[in-house]
């Protein structure tokens, strides 16, 4: 029997993460000690209270039916969280939709709003799920470069007028993956003015909003006046609450847009496991204490690795937030060759910047997913690679 993939599968080639894992595993089998700073999967466990609820609820015999979407308790917890943390008022019934993690929501989002040939404004570099969603919808990406001279924020003034007129959707991620650039209200005001002028839906990916290292507190796109008129925000419990494997997130914002997404979601799945929703609601209700602990740890990790790399002669800037360091490689321009050489010579696993777009060439993404002592050790080991 001949099995042929669809033409659309050409957009889903094996990722660099698979290649890195295979190569790193081969090195490990040969006896090399590895420090894996590639995947952005939190290594810290969820708060004990979250685990206790999940465990207790999972033991109940009636917990295993379909939820058919977000529960009232979960949606109320999202609205309460936004009100407390960002002073944004949400109607839990009309302005929130649950997704099975942010990846699922991001990949399906363009299907809800884009026709084949529609333009989607996305950043370069960007989280890989954006490209997958654009491709599934048959839409066309227009890349907004993230450059150091613009503090790694997209310059909307460089978007040609004919592109802006045809654009249907804009995807932003601040602070983001792979680039932990921090936005401010002035930038989001520009985004809102631009989107309103050109009738563009804006989706802000706020997966790292709780990982800020200053004293300003979490910053929501929806807190900017006018944002609710033109857009939405997707937020995940994967990073901020160490619930990556539980696969639970939500999109909040414009009620008309949320209605469309709820219609799409009703045809895709039967909802997240009820005990996971109850555990997630508890996490949101106790966000202050939970995220304070995690944020302090990731701030310490960012400081330790940045300082360690600086001490070995790698001029790395400490990020203001997020859970990654995004930096130029110390010599040469082939970032892919550099990361494989780093595995060989130091045992440290990183991701080449070009995996996230052409503007990522000559960069690497380093995930802060190991304790401070291990990150300090990684910096020392990397000296073998940059000398």
- Residue 243 in domain: yes
Of 142, 151, 231, the closest CA to residue 189 belongs to 231
- Report pLDDT for 14: 75
Task: Write down which residue in 288, 320, 342 finishes a domain.
Answer: 288
Same domain? 143 vs 279: yes
pLDDT tens readout for residues 247-259? 999 999 999 999 9
> Quick one: pLDDT at residue 217?
76
Average confidence (pLDDT) over 306-329: 95
Higher pLDDT, 330 or 347: 347
Domain co-membership, 74 together with 24: no
Q: What is the pLDDT of residue 333?
A: 74
**320 & 244 share domain:** no
Q: What is the DSSP string of 278-319?
A: HHHHHHHHTHHHHHHHHHHHHHHHHHHHHHHHHHTT---PPP
pLDDT band at residue 386, thresholds of 50, 70 and 90?
confident
- Tell me: do 112 and 259 sit in the same domain: yes
**Do 172 and 284 belong to one domain?**
yes
Is the domain of 277 the same as that of 128? Answer: yes
Report whether 370 contacts 377 (CB < 8 A): no
Domain-embedded: residue 371: yes
| % of the chain beyond a pLDDT of 90 | 89
Residue 212 DSSP one-character state: B
Domain ranges, residue 152 = 62-288
The contacts of residue 258 (CB under 8 Å, 6+ apart) are: 94, 95, 96, 97, 232, 251, 252
The reply to whether 284 falls in a domain is: yes
Count other C-beta atoms under 10 Å from residue 315's C-beta.
9
Q: Using pLDDT thresholds of 50, 70 and 90, give the confidence band for residue 90.
A: very high
The average pLDDT across 381-386 equals 92
Contact indicator for 253, 95 with CB cutoff of 8 Å: yes
With pLDDT > 70 as the criterion, what percentage of the chain qualifies? 100
pLDDT of 144 > 90? The answer is yes
Give the pLDDT of residue 387. Answer: 67
Identify whether 56 is part of a domain. no
| CATH number, residue 359 | 3.90.1150.10
Do 230 and 254 lie in one domain? The reply is: yes
Per-residue pLDDT, averaged over 88-106, amounts to: 97
Per-residue pLDDT, 79: 98
The Cα-based distances of 74 to 79, 90, 124 in angstroms read 9, 13, 34
Of 288, 323, 351, the one marking the end of a domain is 288
Q: Which residues pair with 250 in a beta bridge?
A: 98, 235
- pLDDT mean over 337-351: 95
Residue 199 lies in a domain: yes
Q: Are residues 311 and 296 in the same domain?
A: yes
Closest alpha carbon to 141 in 161, 155, 124: 124
Q: What is the CATH number for 155?
A: 3.40.640.10
Q: In terms of pTM, does the model score above 0.75? A: yes
Domain membership flag for residue 264? yes
Shared domain for 252 and 358, answered yes or no, is: no
The CA-atom distances, in angstroms, between 300 and each of 16, 63, 206, 306 are: 28, 39, 21, 10
For residue 50, give the 3-state DSSP assignment. helix
* pLDDT of the residue at 13: 75
Confidence band of 166 (pLDDT split at 50, 70, 90): very high
| Residues 261 and 187 occupy one common structural domain | yes
Q: 336 lies in a domain?
A: yes
The count of domains in the chain is 2
- Give residue 8's pLDDT: 87
Q: Do residues 116 and 21 both lie within one domain? A: no
Q: Which two tokens stand for residue 143?
A: 């890349």
User: 257, 288, 319: which is the final residue of a domain?
Assistant: 288
Tokens 């190991």 appear where? 370
Write the CB contacts of 215 (distance below 8 Å, at least 6 apart in sequence): none
> How large is the average pLDDT for residues 104-109?
97
Condensed to tens digits (0 to 9), the pLDDT of residues 11-56 reads 887 778 888 989 999 998 999 999 999 989 899 999 999 999 999 9
Q: What is residue 318's predicted lDDT score, i.e. its pLDDT?
A: 92
DSSP per-residue letters across 309-357:
HHHTT---PPPSBSSEEEEE-SS-S-HHHHHHHHHHHH-EE-EEGGGG-
- The confidence score (pLDDT) of residue 332 equals 74
The answer to the question of residue 20 being in a domain is yes
User: Mean per-residue pLDDT for 306-330?
Assistant: 95
Taking only the tens place, the pLDDT of each residue in 212-222 is 998 777 889 99
For the chain, the average pLDDT equals 95
Are residues 174 and 247 part of one domain? yes
Nearest partner of 127 among 183, 188, 171, judged by Cα:
171
């Amino acid at each position: 029997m001949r099995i042929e993939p669809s033409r659309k599968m050409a957009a889903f080639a094996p990722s660099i993460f698979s290649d890195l894992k295979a190569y790193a595993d081969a090195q490990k089998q040969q006896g090399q000690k590895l420090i894996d700073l590639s995947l952005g999967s939190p290594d810290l466990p969820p708060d004990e209270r979250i685990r206790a609820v999940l465990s207790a609820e999972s033991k109940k015999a009636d917990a295993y039916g379909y939820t058919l979407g977000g529960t009232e308790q979960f949606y109320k917890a999202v609205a309460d969280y936004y009100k407390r943390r960002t002073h944004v008022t949400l109607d839990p019934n009309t302005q929130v939709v649950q997704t099975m993690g942010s990846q699922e929501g991001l990949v399906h989002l363009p299907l809800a709003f884009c026709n084949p040939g529609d333009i989607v404004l996305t950043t370069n570099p960007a989280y890989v799920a954006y490209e997958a969603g654009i491709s599934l919808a048959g839409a066309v990406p227009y890349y907004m470069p993230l450059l150091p001279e613009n503090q790694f924020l997209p310059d909307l003034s460089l978007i040609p007028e004919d592109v802006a007129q045809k654009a249907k959707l804009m995807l932003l991620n601040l602070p983001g993956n792979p680039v932990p650039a921090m936005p401010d209200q002035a930038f989001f005001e520009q985004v809102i003015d631009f989107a309103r002028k050109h009738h563009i839906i804006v989706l802000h990916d706020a997966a790292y909003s709780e990982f800020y290292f200053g004293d300003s507190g979490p910053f929501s796109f929806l807190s900017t006046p006018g944002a609710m008129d033109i857009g939405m925000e997707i937020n995940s419990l994967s990073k901020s609450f160490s619930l990556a494997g539980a696969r639970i997130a939500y999109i909040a914002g414009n009620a008309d847009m949320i209605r469309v997404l709820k219609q799409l979601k009703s045809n895709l799945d039967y909802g997240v496991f009820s005990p996971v929703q109850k555990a997630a609601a508890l996490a949101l209700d106790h966000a202050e204490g939970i995220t304070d602990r995690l944020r302090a740890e990731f701030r310490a990790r960012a400081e330790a690795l940045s300082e360690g790399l600086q001490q070995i002669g790698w001029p790395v800037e400490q990020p203001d937030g997020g859970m990654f360091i995004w930096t130029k490689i110390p010599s040469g321009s082939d970032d892919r060759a550099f990361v494989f050489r780093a595995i060989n010579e130091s045992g440290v696993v990183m991701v080449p910047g070009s995996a996230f777009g052409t503007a990522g060439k000559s960069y690497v993404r380093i995930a802060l997913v190991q304790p401070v002592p291990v990150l300090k050790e990684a910096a020392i080991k990397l000296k073998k690679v940059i000398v």
